Amino acid sequence: MAKILLFPGMEMTAEMALSLDVEQYSKDELESMLPLIEKVYDALQEEEPEDIESQEYYEWAERMEALDDVMDEIQDALEE
């Protein structure tokens, strides 16, 4: 995967967060990215579909879990 460069004022998207290869970034870069990913996670959380039996809900939940995994991976890298 390519390394994503974030410029000042640039917003993180869910797609960008999910495509990150955490090992390619320094701890400083990861520290600056984590709040941006948390912001994406919070925004996505507000879009929770009402019907928990729907395909839309299933896809939303999968995306939330994937973002959570990325944040966990970043936290683990920062703790090393």
Q: How far is residue 29 CA from its own chain's centroid?
A: 14
Q: Which residues contact 19 (CB under 8 A, 6 or more apart)?
A: 1, 4
Predicted TM-score (pTM) of the model is 0.84
The one-digit pLDDT tens for each residue of the chain (80 residues) are 557 766 666 788 888 888 888 999 999 999 988 999 999 999 999 999 999 999 999 999 999 999 999 999 999 999 98
